Amino acid sequence: MAEFTMELNDEQKEVRDWLHGFATDVIRPAAAEWDEREETPWPVIQEAAKVGIYSLDFYAQQYFDPTGLGIPMAMEELFWGDAGIALSIVGTGLAAVGVLANGTEAQIGTWIPQMYGDQNDVKVAAFCSSEPDAGSDVASMRTRAVYDEAKDEWVINGTKTWATNGGIANVHVVVAVVDPELGSKGHASFIVPPGTPGLAQGQKFKKHGIRASHTAEVVLDGVRVPGSCLLGGKEKLDERLARAREKAKAGGERVKNAAMATFEASRPAVGAMAVGTARAAYEVALEYATTREQFGRPIIDNQGVAFQLADMRTQIDAARLLVWRASWMAVNNRPFTAAEGSMSKLFASETAKKVTAQAIQILGGNGYTREYPVERMHRDSAIYTIFEGTSEIQRLVIARTLAGMPIR
């Protein structure tokens, strides 16, 4: 088990600098254009694939970093570049985490490479959990998967929403109800292979922020997938459902469902994304405050501005430390006994919203225009308090954990 450290090693620093260079040279120059276009930045994703950033090997190396700092360090640097483009580059990772968290070795080896494609034929993947009437309340999920034993196939019907890469993905990972009587315990995750009949893109959303990332509904109408596409396999599912039924009869504690397993694994990474956006806005504000003069002196000489910058930097560093702690705990199999993963996501996402708003204030009228990037950063930051569990849900998870109550 790696000791917790606040210092990156030489290899990590090299990767960080490489990512920072890509964010500086490739992502930032393209950020405003793709935000305005509200389209997936395929050329940027392809550039990321060419240099090895958008690849299974790169994310595997960061995911299995024994210090736990590989993923948060990578997320911070890419999202420092631009949140919308970065989400298009890393959005496939949520689907990949869904397979890693719930799939067999054979499923991991078969499907994750197909999620990325290669530098000459880039692919993306989508994780589909939220529904029009079931976002934070996963127990209200209506998408249903029914097993056809004669054909060894699962038949899936329902509508998913807020799916990053939904409809344009090569591979979709879909969470569905297999036993309605068990509520959130009766869920399972399925791979929907490319070209499967019955899967279609619904509405594509026009968003306030992260506009370079594709977000859409996914409609599943009589979708049939082979039994081998049930993540974890049917034997494991049957055993889990049997345990859940026994605990339900005995009034026992709730068991973790497939969607929650994926979100638990990814929340510190979302916190790192928020840290990257916050840091970017802070740096713009700091540079502006040291070069912009009013009344014959730089505005940073005014205590009102200087104190804001001091608070911004303190909150960013505190958020990063919470993210790193949770990431280290996760990779070293330390249980989140006080919901440390949710803590990191909550604090970092709230920090991003606050810091980007302060950056606009420091830039004044300039900050409110699209001539400066803090306006876009502020719009982008709003998503961190919403997706993969709203701030209210994070507080609920933390509170229930502190009270010794089951998470649901």
List, for residues 172-192, the tens digit of each pLDDT value. 999 999 999 888 889 999 999
How far is residue 191's CA from residue 108's CA, in Å, rounded to a whole number?
A: 11
How many whole angstroms separate alpha carbon 103 and alpha carbon 139?
A: 22
Catalytic residue among 253, 293, 388, 392: 388
pLDDT at 258: 53
C-alpha distances out from residue 139 to 39, 71, 173, 288, Å = 32, 29, 18, 47
pLDDT band at 136 (very low <50, low <70, confident <90, very high): low
Is it the case that residue 110 has pLDDT exceeding 80? Answer: yes
Supply the pLDDT for residue 262: 53
CA distance 76 to 274: 7
d(CA 327, CA 344): 9
Instruction: Single out the residue of 229, 243, 145, 167 nearest to residue 192, CA to CA.
Output: 229
Give the pLDDT confidence score for residue 259 in this predicted structure.
54
Beta carbons of 125 and 165 less than 8 angstroms apart = yes
The predicted structure's pLDDT at residue 135: 62
3 is catalytic: no
Report the percentage of the chain scoring pLDDT > 90: 78
pLDDT per residue as tens digits for the range 63-102: 889 999 999 999 999 999 999 999 999 999 889 988 988 9
What is the residue-averaged pLDDT of the chain? Answer: 92
pLDDT, one tens digit per residue, over 248-281 is 777 654 445 555 555 566 789 999 999 999 999 9
Angle at 142 between CA 136 and CA 143, to 5 degrees: 105
For Cα atoms 265, 227, 239, give the angle at the middle one, nearest 5 degrees. Answer: 60
Task: Read off the pTM.
Answer: 0.91
Checking if the pLDDT of 51 tops 60, the result is: yes
Give per-residue pLDDT as tens, 180-237: 988 888 999 999 999 999 999 999 999 999 999 999 999 999 999 999 999 999 999 9
Q: Which residues pair with 297 in a beta bridge?
A: 294
| pLDDT band of 138, cuts 50, 70, 90 | low
Question: What pLDDT shows up at residue 251?
Answer: 63
Which pLDDT belongs to residue 360?
Answer: 98
